[in-house]
Amino acid sequence: MPVKKLRPITPGQRFRMANTFEEITTDKPEKSLLAPIKKSGGRNNQGRMTIRYRGGGHKRRYRIVDFKRRKEGAAQVLSIEYDPNRSAFISLIQFEDGEKKYMLAPKGIEKGQKVHIGTNVSPDLGNTLPLKNMPLGTAVHNIEMQPGQGGRICRSAGTSAQLLAKEGKYAVLKMPSGESRMILANCLATVGVVSNQDHSLVRLGKAGRNRWLGRRPRTRPAAMNPVDHPQGGGEGRSKGGQAKTRKGIPSKGLKTRNKNKKSNRLILERRKK
């Protein structure tokens, strides 16, 4: 999906890069698949701020997306919709018995197209099947980490993993980060790349758009006092040294993964630095 540059008739439009939303076919969501969202504004059950820089934003309703894809059979794509709760677009599909569900929309899917879910379906765009039944080199998304768990990997806009090999009960996937790891071959995945690939090119253009998304202004650590942050204080502008969090933990380059984690043996190649 392309992005468009607007004519700079206002200061907020001068640097804005906006999505064209060419793939979207409707602006009305399916009412039966909506749920309310309660916003916390970064406050806990005592009303105290525990997460900074959150609050405000436009009211949203959650779209109940089917990540598990347990209902087998053929379904028709009724529409491709915008979802305010994620970077990717979603597709409304209807099964032959009339049941409707939302799924992540892969790039290139069209209204009226048929998608299939099952063990022995063909590895075509939008179809969901186990990794063991896919040919090598297939681009997949919404990948399970445990059978029946539901999709966990590659759900963001423009992401996909590539099926490199099959070794016994495992399949080897190349992740968007460059990491190669083994996942049980019985796990389900959907064929294709997640839609809205140009999401990373969007530029908001003004601070007000960030407020609409529920993000409040962020204070630079170097502008704080020493009591508030390790990088605060100093006469004039100080360099601050090693980048740290408020609690003094290095925020760039420190490895936080447990060295004894059981799934370490499944990672064949680490992600690129």
Contact present, 139 and 193 (Cβ < 8 Å): yes
Four-residue CA torsion sign, 173, 179, 182, 184: negative
**DSSP code of 53?**
S
Contact present, 64 and 150 (Cβ < 8 Å): no
| pLDDT > 80? residue 1 | no
Whole-number Å distance between alpha carbons of 210 and 204: 7
Q: What is the pLDDT of residues 149-165, one digit of tens each?
A: 999 999 999 999 999 99
Q: What is the mean pLDDT of residues 130-146?
A: 97
* 3-class DSSP state of 255: coil
Q: What is the pLDDT of residues 165-174, one digit of tens each?
A: 999 999 999 9
Residues 6+ apart with CB under 8 A from 17: 3, 4, 5, 201, 202, 203, 205
Residues 6+ apart with CB under 8 A from 205: 6, 12, 13, 14, 15, 16, 17, 18
Locate the DSSP E strands across the chain: 3-5, 17-19, 34-36, 61-63, 73-81, 90-95, 100-104, 114-117, 128-130, 139-141, 143-144, 151-153, 161-167, 170-174, 180-184, 188-191, 267-269
Q: Is the pTM of this model over 0.85?
A: yes
| pLDDT > 80? residue 240 | no
Q: What is the pLDDT of residues 8-50, one digit of tens each?
A: 999 999 999 999 999 999 999 999 999 999 999 999 999 999 9
| CATH number given to 24-199+263-269 | 2.40.50.140
Q: Where are the domains of the chain?
A: 24-199+263-269
Structure token pair of residue 131: 């990794």
Q: What is the mean pLDDT of residues 81-94?
A: 98
